[in-house]
Chains A and B, each alone.
Chain A
Amino acid sequence: MTRQSTGTTVELREERIDALDIVSGRTRYSADLSRPDALWARTLRSPHPHARIVRIDVERATGLPGVVAVVTGRDFPEYRMGRAIRDMPILARDRVRFVGEKVAAVVAESRTIAERAVELVEVQYEELPAVFDPLEAMRPGAPLLHDATDIRAWAAPLQVVPDYPNGVMQRTWGATADELAAALESSDRVIEHVIRTPRQHQLYLEPHHCLVEVDGSGVAHVWATNKAPFLLLNYLEAGLGLERGQVIVHPLPLGGDFGGKGSFMDIPLAILLARSTARPVRMTMTYREELGAGNPRHAAVVRVVSGVDREGRIGARLVHAIFDSGAYAAFKPSPDAALPEIQGGARGPYDIPVTRVLADVVYTNTVPGGHMRNPGEAQTAAAVEIHMDALARELHLDPVALRRRHLTTQARLGEDGAASEARAFDVLDAAATAIGWGQPRPPGVGRGVAVVALHTSPGVYSGALTLHADGHAVVRTPLIENGAGILTTLRALAAKRLHVAPERVEIEQTTDGFTTDRGLGGSRVSRLESIVVRRLVTKAALRLREELAAAAILSPEEVGIEDGVLILPTGERLTLPEAAQRLEATIEVSDVYEATAADSVTVSVAQAAEVEVDRETGRVILRRLVSVHDVGRIINPIAFRGQIEGALVQGAGYALLEDLPLEDGRVATLNLHDYRIPTSVDIPTPEIILLPLDPNLGVTPVGESTPGAAPAIVNAVAEVVSIPLLEFPLRPERVRAAFLRAGEAAGRSAGEADASG
């Protein structure tokens, strides 16, 4: 159900470009491809969270018929891979640092042979003390994963390496420690909560896969599950010491991403293996490997402190988030080694006079973390919004009223720098009204809200536009289709600017002719592509104006341009495709646009949930899920709604179910009947409410527009339990334990009351 607050239904018209190919099985994904003579590679992974490799014996594996090569970390130079921080060996050399780290690789004629041969590789380990909790890892005397000098040597340009053990990076934003201390000092009450957030897997349908072939001239061709070909090139070139041109990434559609397909995974290894065997090599991760050794969302411990005055006004706030990096920091792409939206999630849409945000990223002997929908923000926004409810209840204030009191009144900046009113109030009020805030609650029913500010980030984007003499248009783009519908969105953008039906625009997905592109992520792509398309159309208009003028013996100034339409002195108006047809000319323009912070936008979103909680079993039924959005333009209504619905389901999974818990350092949920995600019968039909569209904002972010879903659900359950719930997912046993604690607390306070009475 999608509706504007005025009650009108958004029309859902345009079909996905790729829909028919996907459902009919014609779409070719990475794993569908092979090359003649291709080999399969499999890796042996560490069974220990921390150990020294004493000896590796590959003799039995090598002897198995069909095995082409067995390699260990010692067979290559010491390459280290990483997106911003190159700290990850391709194969472990002397030490393993998490269960699932790659120790040896087997290349064989078939996948089955490779699988059997891997079991024949014998490794002798000497186990080392391991640390699994980031807070313990920071303490003096904790087992060290890496040498401090190495960490500093690997550091990315803006990475500040802290002095405590196992520190990857530390960063602060906002007020200084002294300013915060003074503001807390002058507060009437200081209330804090420590919230723990779980490790969540992206759970795309398509696991990681790659195929690599090295051609006669030594160039490695890569067909892989990766969402940003030019970033991948950078990683491979930097990690393997290659020149531009020595690797070619062939773009392919993805079977889901959710932030998890930006890393290199097995690709560098496959390149080395393809080179050393002189045959194409395929590698695929099983889902067991995905869950145990993918690049899941970082677990975090977030301390939120509020200094409050007598009127319940928050004068000071600290948000201190400690992220569990896992054994390596290689999957974090930011130059400061942080996660991108830590600060945004921590500040939220609030104006609090003194706010300090502090983030630490810490190595532990666990699976390395990567990006997943709202990286940094998922953790901090959840913590802040859980704290807001707990704070309100402690102060005997209404959680919505407490939020309203602190919402920002700052204006948003629109597409052309024009200010428009802040709508944080509107989204929160709409969510609260829709969920029935303040209405009587049936027994066991609770309601919760959360409000979050979203920011888009900048980046470099490339594109090209060809207008053919026959009147059809082709847009070339290096963007990958990850399932979100970006290519359909691109077609809609181009069709609108060119004033033609979408069917007249062809989208060609290719890296040929391009040299850079930041690729998918950060909920910025539709917005920045709308700028690229606008610039392409402007360039094409100028070119066609010149050619039209030349053909008609006019000066170019005599041909007008208005909204991508050429106006001849006769008054005749030609769309650009018509002009190309008239001239019987094919013209091509290209553009590389480096977006800046000025191209970014900030909007507010609010989510609300209603749950029913079984006091005796702890089971939570999600009854209603409301999502309210402040939106500029909607380009592709189906994709728009799909992004919100999918993100809400992922948020519900985050709040209620999903985690990669460890048992002795091993991920305990290594299959999809233990790692559960919500199914359609577990989720109510999402109620999506759009504020009246504000076209002044341009294209607003949608892919990551529901980080409030998880805290809204947690807050709804906490309302029933009547004590703060500071750790999720809220599996039944955890909720029941909270009910028991709440009962004891109630019993105690009743006892105290009796004693005092």
Chain B
Amino acid sequence: MSLDYIRAGTTEDAIAALIRGGDDAKVVAGGTALVLMLQEGFIAPRYLVDIGRIAALGGIRDVGDAVIIGATTTLWQVMTSPLVGRRLPVLVGALGRVATVRIRSVATLGGNLAHGDPRLDPAAVLLALDASVRLAGPDGERWLGLEELFVDELTTAIGPAELVVEIRIPYPDPSSRLTYRKLVGQTMDDYGVVNVAARLDVDDGRCRDARLVLGAVAATPIRVPAAEAVLRGAGIGPAVIAQAAELAREAADPVGDLRGSAGYKCDMVVVEVRRALTELASGPGGPATPAGRWSDS
């Protein structure tokens, strides 16, 4: 069986190649997830369209109220960007938890989102940050929020010949406190048993707005609107936190595997959400403090 490797020079070339290849074509950026899928025989494409050399898909730029990151920017490039470090330390922390330094040096931010794996760290934290992606395809371009992007396990709303072009991450409000937690069950480079990304916007000790996102415990990274509703307008203390954590458990729908039974994972959702919210309630984790960078459990 032959496999054609097509190195696209421009986004238009890549889209054209994807149209030609149809169902037999797959996009390669960093290739870290793709190669695993190939090895396991989950996919058997005939065309690989490499978008890694398309200059327009790289780069990190400040657009005033947000940062825009090109899809093929590696996680390492994002983590080490002074701009990202200054404005989005929680993202730096979350990316630091992705697999190993070798993977982080090759895997791309766009690829991470396009893969649609609910266990990947960037997905959960970017959902908490209200990020959106710009897609380019045969019918032109469109913006999509991450909640619309993730459809099901390994399934996204990206069309057959569409590409992630860039990711827009709005800067959090100065009153926002953010954290990202990942509970690994086995080794530091493992997938999480549960990932938690949380954001509390706090004014005078009261929560004005909240975001609570769980990764690795459902088919997609999920928000927990019920918990967010409880937190919104409340003074953040142990009782509210415990209530939010229980609501998160109800929202979780994990699959038991070698990293733990479904029951264990649900219990860990409670523990990790409580720890995340307690950390935010106690003050640090504001947008400008590099807290939670290695907040391992």
A residues touching B (Cβ–Cβ < 8 Å)?
112, 614, 616-617, 619, 656-657, 661, 668-669, 671, 673-674, 676-679, 681-682, 731-733, 736
Are A731 and B185 touching (Cβ within 8 A)? yes
Are A619 and B185 touching (Cβ within 8 A)? yes
Chain B residues with CB under 8 A of A619: 183-185, 297
Are B187 and A674 touching (Cβ within 8 A)? no
What's the nearest-Cβ distance from chain B to residue A244, in Å? 42
What's the nearest-Cβ distance from chain A to residue B91, in Å? 21
Q: B239 on the interface (CB 8 Å rule)?
A: no
Assembly CA distance A659 to B189 (angstroms)? 18
What's the nearest-Cβ distance from chain A to residue B294, in Å? 11
Question: What 1/0 mask marks residues of chain B from 172 to 215 whose CB sits below 8 Å from any chain A CB?
Answer: 00000000000111111111010000000000000000000000
Are A673 and B183 touching (Cβ within 8 A)? no
Are B260 and A674 touching (Cβ within 8 A)? no
Assembly CA distance A208 to B46 (angstroms)? 30
Are A732 and B260 touching (Cβ within 8 A)? yes
Assembly CA distance A656 to B188 (angstroms)? 13
| Chain A residue with the shortest CB-CB distance to B256 | A733
| Chain B residue with the shortest CB-CB distance to A732 | B185
Chain A residues with CB under 8 A of B297: 614, 617, 619
What's the nearest-Cβ distance from chain B to residue A418, in Å? 47
| Chain B residue with the shortest CB-CB distance to A681 | B188
Are B1 and A112 touching (Cβ within 8 A)? yes
Q: B261 on the interface (CB 8 Å rule)?
A: yes
Q: B139 on the interface (CB 8 Å rule)?
A: no
Are A731 and B186 touching (Cβ within 8 A)? yes
Are B258 and A669 touching (Cβ within 8 A)? yes
| Chain B residue with the shortest CB-CB distance to A675 | B258
25 A-B pairs with C-beta separation under 8 A: A112-B1, A616-B271, A617-B183, A617-B193, A656-B186, A657-B187, A661-B258, A668-B258, A671-B40, A673-B190, A673-B191, A676-B187, A678-B187, A679-B100, A679-B187, A679-B189, A681-B188, A682-B187, A682-B188, A731-B185, A731-B186, A732-B185, A732-B264, A733-B260, A733-B264
Are A736 and B183 touching (Cβ within 8 A)? no
| Chain B residue with the shortest CB-CB distance to A658 | B186
Are A657 and B100 touching (Cβ within 8 A)? no
Assembly CA distance A731 to B193 (angstroms)? 12
What's the nearest-Cβ distance from chain A to residue B217, in Å? 14
Apart from A679-B187, A736-B264, what are 13 other A-B pairs with CB-CB below 8 Å?
Answer: A614-B297, A617-B183, A617-B271, A619-B184, A656-B186, A673-B191, A674-B257, A674-B258, A679-B100, A679-B189, A681-B187, A682-B188, A733-B260
B residues 258-277 near A (Cβ < 8 Å) are 258, 260-261, 264, 267-268, 271
Q: B56 on the interface (CB 8 Å rule)?
A: no
What's the nearest-Cβ distance from chain A to residue B98, in Å? 13
Chain B residues with CB under 8 A of A676: 186-187, 190
| Chain A residue with the shortest CB-CB distance to B257 | A674
Top 10 nearest A-B pairs by Cβ distance? Answer: A676-B186, A733-B264, A681-B188, A616-B271, A732-B185, A733-B260, A676-B187, A682-B187, A674-B258, A657-B186
Question: What 1/0 mask marks residues of chain B from 93 to 121 whose CB sits below 8 Å from any chain A CB?
Answer: 00000001000000000000000000000
Question: What 1/0 mask marks residues of chain B from 276 to 297 whose CB sits below 8 Å from any chain A CB?
Answer: 0000000000000000000001
Q: B36 on the interface (CB 8 Å rule)?
A: yes
B residues touching A (Cβ–Cβ < 8 Å)?
1, 36, 40, 100, 183-191, 193, 257-258, 260-261, 264, 267-268, 271, 297
What's the nearest-Cβ distance from chain B to residue A602, in Å? 35
Chain B residues with CB under 8 A of A679: 100, 187-189
B185's partner among A668, A669, A733 (CB-CB below 8 A) is A733
Are B260 and A673 touching (Cβ within 8 A)? no
Assembly CA distance A293 to B185 (angstroms)? 26
Assembly CA distance A408 to B240 (angstroms)? 60
Chain A residues with CB under 8 A of B260: 731-733
| Chain A residue with the shortest CB-CB distance to B99 | A673
Chain A residues with CB under 8 A of B40: 671
What's the nearest-Cβ distance from chain B to residue A683, in Å? 10
Chain A residues with CB under 8 A of B258: 661, 668-669, 674
Assembly CA distance A673 to B184 (angstroms)? 13
Assembly CA distance A398 to B237 (angstroms)? 43
What's the nearest-Cβ distance from chain A to residue B248, in Å? 15
Which of A616, A656, A679: most chain B Cβ within 10 A? Answer: A616
What's the nearest-Cβ distance from chain A to residue B73, in Å? 24
| Chain A residue with the shortest CB-CB distance to B194 | A617
Chain A residues with CB under 8 A of B191: 673
| Chain B residue with the shortest CB-CB distance to A653 | B187
Assembly CA distance A247 to B264 (angstroms)? 55
What's the nearest-Cβ distance from chain B to residue A213, in Å? 28
What's the nearest-Cβ distance from chain A to residue B282, in Å? 18
What's the nearest-Cβ distance from chain A to residue B35, in Å? 12
Which of A614, A656, A733: most chain B Cβ within 10 A? Answer: A733
Chain B residues with CB under 8 A of A736: 264, 267
Chain A residues with CB under 8 A of B193: 617, 732
Chain B residues with CB under 8 A of A657: 186-187
Chain A residues with CB under 8 A of B36: 673
Chain B residues with CB under 8 A of A673: 36, 190-191
Assembly CA distance A616 to B260 (angstroms)? 14
Assembly CA distance A673 to B35 (angstroms)? 13
Assembly CA distance A733 to B257 (angstroms)? 11
What's the nearest-Cβ distance from chain A to residue B128, in Å? 21
| Chain B residue with the shortest CB-CB distance to A621 | B296
| Chain A residue with the shortest CB-CB distance to B36 | A673
B261's partner among A614, A677, A682, A733 (CB-CB below 8 A) is A733
Assembly CA distance A656 to B190 (angstroms)? 14
Chain B residues with CB under 8 A of A681: 187-189
| Chain A residue with the shortest CB-CB distance to B275 | A616
Assembly CA distance A676 to B99 (angstroms)? 12
Chain A residues with CB under 8 A of B267: 736
Assembly CA distance A705 to B142 (angstroms)? 62
Chain A residues with CB under 8 A of B190: 673, 676
| Chain A residue with the shortest CB-CB distance to B272 | A617
Assembly CA distance A657 to B188 (angstroms)? 12
Chain A residues with CB under 8 A of B271: 616-617
Chain A residues with CB under 8 A of B1: 112
Chain B residues with CB under 8 A of A733: 185, 260-261, 264
Chain A residues with CB under 8 A of B185: 619, 731-733
What's the nearest-Cβ distance from chain A to residue B206, in Å? 28
What's the nearest-Cβ distance from chain B to residue A50, in Å? 24
Assembly CA distance A443 to B185 (angstroms)? 20
Assembly CA distance A473 to B13 (angstroms)? 64
| Chain A residue with the shortest CB-CB distance to B189 | A679
Assembly CA distance A547 to B14 (angstroms)? 79
What's the nearest-Cβ distance from chain B to residue A42, in Å? 14
Chain A residues with CB under 8 A of B264: 732-733, 736
Assembly CA distance A158 to B189 (angstroms)? 47
Assembly CA distance A676 to B258 (angstroms)? 10
Assembly CA distance A657 to B186 (angstroms)? 6
Assembly CA distance A358 to B191 (angstroms)? 42
Which of A619, A661, A668, A678: most chain B Cβ within 10 A? Answer: A619
Chain B residues with CB under 8 A of A682: 187-188
What's the nearest-Cβ distance from chain B to residue A281, in Å? 22
Assembly CA distance A733 to B185 (angstroms)? 8
Chain A residues with CB under 8 A of B184: 619
Chain B residues with CB under 8 A of A671: 40
Assembly CA distance A690 to B257 (angstroms)? 42
| Chain B residue with the shortest CB-CB distance to A619 | B297
What's the nearest-Cβ distance from chain B to residue A436, in Å? 23
Assembly CA distance A732 to B258 (angstroms)? 11
Assembly CA distance A668 to B40 (angstroms)? 14
Assembly CA distance A736 to B297 (angstroms)? 14
What's the nearest-Cβ distance from chain B to residue A613, in Å? 12
